[in-house]
Amino acid sequence: MFTKEYKKELFDLLRTNAHMQKAFDMLRKQSKVVSYIIIKDFQTKKSLSIMKKGLELLGIKNRKSISKIVGLIKNKTANKEDIKFGEINGKYWVYIFPLTMDGKTYAFTICFSTDIITTTHLECFAFSLKIVFENIYKSAELSKISDSIKPRAIALSTVHTLHRLITSSLNLDELLPRIAHLSIQVLRANRCSIKLLNDSKKILISKTTIDLRKHKKISLRNLPVGQGVPGRAIKLEKILRARNYISIPLIDEEAIGVITVYDKIDKKPFSEFDVEIFRTLAEQSVVAIKNAQLYEEQRNFIISIMQTLAKVLEHKKNEYRIKNPIYTELNLRIGKIMALNSEELKTLEIASLLHDTGQLSLPKTILSKKSRLTKKEFALIKSQPKKTASVFKNFNSLKPVMPILLHQHEKYDGTGYPKGLRGNEIPLASRIMAVVAAFNSMVGKRAYKKRKTIIEAIAEIEKNSGTQFDPTIVSVFIKTVNTASFKKLLGERLK
Amino acid sequence: MKFEELLNSPIHIQIIEFFDQNPASIDTPRGVAAWINSDRETVKKALTELVELNILIEYRATATTGYGYTSNQAILKKIKKYLSNIKK
């Protein structure tokens, strides 16, 4: 059944349809039809007005005549005949063709003729009208179906895109703000906050809040379960909706947090459709958050294994009086200034912990040798990066670390080893580690040489900037080691 | 591309109209191309230009880029005015 809006569309299509005009033109050629009109009914003011205008075109302007004609048409249409006709004004014959579908009349075509139309021509015209009307009706019905399906199809496509955008990140620090931004986008809201439960499951820790409103101070407020809108949503494990918010608990096997959007940008209330979309987004978010948490746990587990390994290594190096006072910390400080993201910093941290694991395979005599190394011994030293990388090659999650370990002894001018890479061909993390390793080697204890002072070490690195070391990193390094906090830390480590 | 230059670009107008009618939508270039019945490469280029004009917002992930409609009220107002002028 058509709604009022679609009935209007159907009627408009009828009035403007070219085939309708063609059918009428054919009838006009075969008879003495002078004009035709299409009206919805005989009751509404608009229909009566169309009819009066049609009659006026025929020169019938007398009000009484018009009323008489309208009455005649009304009487004729009350009969059950398909085509109704009658004489009007002693001059015209009027023919009324109801346009029906499934027993329901949607409109009437009224033709005015100066003579009687033959039955054959009438039947032909009625048949043409029927075909044209059926096509128009189907077209309007298709348009109605398309109009109701399209928004759902677009919403489905949005859900699919959201899924791809959300599940592509395993980094919680990146994932949570992304979910908040996407929630604001699809809900057309001003604000979104995501809170995750702490280990005791009693406090919601505020993880991210995005607020589009200018000059609004963003507060990351933790909430006890049961307090505030998010606190109640998580306590009840129920979606809470009001005019200006929707709060959805994030539930996997158990509740892990809550996501809340506030204030639509057009100031309208949140609808049931908004809840449906937001619920889907929240369900996708739970999976993505759990995956990221598991990945982080696995990553932390690997880091703790690596830290243990590094301690074992450190212990062995102590036997050879090798000490790297501030290697990992300095790498990370420079990495942060070089704008590495959190993922890249974690990779740099692991690479720093493992950087000289390959030394374990070197004979003690080489590591503690005070005199110049032989060619054979130096070849063994040069094989160390490959050995370090090969020790960890079976750890899939350490894949990003491998190229850093492998190229940590490359030189900026291409004279390093194992591949002789130059400039930006060398991974950025490897270039950072090269500077820091040289500094540590100079200021730390070594069996084969005397320690340099910090000033001497910095001067030596500066001297090799652009040849052995990346000049950009050297300049960041110099700024970093000259900060008071670093000097204090290094002083403590060198004691 | 300047905002005023959009007046001469049917593809940009179609994309803006799509997002104006479906402001909650986030879609890929392929998706938008399907909705406005155009080819992906042309749509992709136009989407990038509309991002530069702050009419659309870009959401990038590893293998997917989604585009959504701006929430900036001033820009939305300007677009409404612009679209109603086109229809006149």
Distance CA A87, CA A221 (A): 84
Question: Has residue A167 been placed in a domain?
Answer: no
Judgement on whether residues A489 and A346 belong to the same structural domain of the protein: yes
Which pTM was predicted?
A: 0.66
* pLDDT tier at A83, thresholds 50, 70, 90: low
CATH code at position A247: 3.30.450.40
Judgement on whether residues A78 and A17 belong to the same structural domain of the protein: yes
Of A275 and A84, which is predicted with more confidence?
A275
A216-270 per-position pLDDT tens digit: 666 778 999 999 999 999 999 999 999 999 999 999 888 999 999 999 999 999 9
* pLDDT tier at A205, thresholds 50, 70, 90: very high
Question: Has residue B71 been placed in a domain?
Answer: yes
- Domain of A449 in residue numbering reads as 320-494
Question: Has residue B65 been placed in a domain?
Answer: yes
Torsion sign, CA atoms A467, A473, A476, A478 = negative
Three-state secondary-structure class, residue A91? coil
**Which residue in B64, B67, B70, B75 has the most chain A C-beta atoms within 10 A of its own C-beta, making it the best mutation to test that interface?**
B64
Judgement on whether residues A207 and A290 belong to the same structural domain of the protein: yes
Partners of A188 on chain B (C-beta within 8 Å) are 23-24, 71
Judgement on whether residues A436 and A336 belong to the same structural domain of the protein: yes
Partners of A162 on chain B (C-beta within 8 Å) are 26, 66
DSSP one-letter string for A353-409: HHTTGGGGGS-HHHHT--SPPPHHHHHHHHTHHHHHHHHTTT-GGGGGGHHHHHTTT
Token output for A411: 């030189």
Of A156 and A42, which is predicted with more confidence?
A156
pLDDT for position B44: 95
Question: Has residue B78 been placed in a domain?
Answer: yes
CATH code at position A140: 3.30.450
Three-state secondary-structure class, residue A86? strand
For residue A274, what is the nearest residue in chain B, using CA coordinates?
B24
Nearest to A161 among B31, B35, B71 (CB): B31
Judgement on whether residues A369 and A487 belong to the same structural domain of the protein: yes
- Domain of B29 in residue numbering reads as 8-83
Question: Has residue A305 been placed in a domain?
Answer: no
Q: Which residues of A, range 176-205, sit inside 8 Å of B by Cβ?
A: 178, 181-182, 184-188, 190
Judgement on whether residues A470 and A329 belong to the same structural domain of the protein: yes
* Long-range contacts from A386-394, C-beta under 8 angstroms, 24+ separation: A386/A358, A386/A418, A387/A357, A387/A358, A387/A361, A388/A354, A388/A355, A388/A356, A388/A357, A388/A358, A389/A358, A391/A354, A391/A357, A391/A358, A392/A354, A392/A357
Question: Has residue B33 been placed in a domain?
Answer: yes
Pick left, alpha or beta for residue A321 (phi over 0 → left; psi -120 to 50 → alpha; otherwise beta). Answer: left
Work out how many domains chain B is built from and give that number: 1
- Percent residues over pLDDT 90 in chain A: 36
pLDDT average, residue stretch B8-35: 93
- Assess A165–B contact: CB distance below 8 Å, yes or no: yes
- Assess B37–A contact: CB distance below 8 Å, yes or no: no
Work out how many domains chain A is built from and give that number: 3
Partners of A185 on chain B (C-beta within 8 Å) are 24, 26, 57, 59, 68-69, 71
B37-46 per-position pLDDT tens digit: 999 999 999 9
| Cis peptide bond prior to B10, omega within 30° of 0 | no
CATH code at position B36: 1.10.10.10
Question: Has residue A27 been placed in a domain?
Answer: yes
Question: Has residue B88 been placed in a domain?
Answer: no
